[in-house]
Chains A and B, each alone.
Chain A
Amino acid sequence: MTLTVDLCGRLAEPLGPQLIIDDCSAIHCVADLREAIASAHPVLAAQIMSQRVRACIDNEIVRDTALVGPGAIVAFFPPLSGG
């Protein structure tokens, strides 16, 4: 199973707006996903591991314990700018 992760705002600058995670076997929750991205993409590590960067699954901001299920639409949000 692969997983597509959307990167928003300034997070998209180093590698573009989407990451494809090819091997999701060890990814069960958001915290796992953060570690997998940080490991695979050191240029994003500091930002993706920051607690100021929040995860979003299916359009809702979630905690790091949230499960990442098959087909989930996952994104990471840097601090919001507001309107």
Chain B
Amino acid sequence: MMRVALLSKALDAGGEYAAFLSERTAAGATDGAVASMVGLVRATAKDGSALTELTLEHYRGATITSMQGIADDAAQRFALSDLLLLHRTGTMVPGDAIVLVAAAATHRRAAFDAVDYMMDRLKSEAVFWKRERGADGQSQWIEPTLQDNIDAQRWIENGS
């Protein structure tokens, strides 16, 4: 049962992943692979300076709609039996989990590719605005990098 959620409180990535995995290993399960990815708040900015917090702003229903659209596309594109997409909003500190994506499939390639696909699209299309605050108290808005857009584009170039 595909689960997509936007969380305003701490994301227990380990607990959520364990629950997802337990459904795959229960009696009668037929999956052969589970792949996952956890995104964490980094302690440094791109210029190497220290970060004290990261804030992700979202907007009403548009954010969860964008997440659901990405998950739906992944489910349609890859041969998955289940997927999990959990994303934080609000203020976090270095080490906090921002996002957990997991995919279950009969074969590993579909699971790997689905996680890669969802992360690439989340990084460029999900409705979030990211602001980093440094140790000096100054904050700055972050936009997708050229690499983020290239990563998302390759799924279009690779066909449907």
Query: Which residues of chain A have a CB within 8 Å of any CB of chain B?
Result: 6, 8-10, 56, 59-61, 73, 75, 77-83
C-alpha gap A75/B142 in the complex (Å) = 20
User: Complex: how many Å from CA A56 to CA B58?
Assistant: 13
Work out how many contacts link A and B, with CB atoms closer than 8 A.
65
A8 to B63, CA, bound (A): 12
Taken residue by residue from 19 to 44, chain B's Cβ proximity to chain A (1 for < 8 Å, 0 otherwise) reads as 00000000000000000000100000
Q: Given contacts A10-B141, A59-B65, are A80 and B60 in contact (CB under 8 A)?
A: no
Interface of B is mostly: mixed
Contacts A60-B65, A83-B39: A77 and B127 contacting too (C-beta < 8 A)? yes
Interface residues of B in 68-127 (CB under 8 A from A): 87, 98-99, 122-127
Is B143 in contact with A79, judged by CB distance below 8 angstroms?
yes
B87 touches which of A8, A10, A80, A83 (Cβ 8 Å): A83
Q: Do A81 and B65 form a contact, CB below 8 Å, given A6-B59, A9-B57?
A: no
Q: Interface readout for B119-149 with A: 1 if CB under 8 Å, 0 if not?
A: 0001111111110000000000111100010
Instruction: Point out the residues of chain A lying under 8 angstroms from B87, CB to CB.
Output: 83
Query: Are B144 and A82 in contact, with the CB atoms below 8 A?
Result: yes
Complex Cα spacing A14 to B150, Å: 32
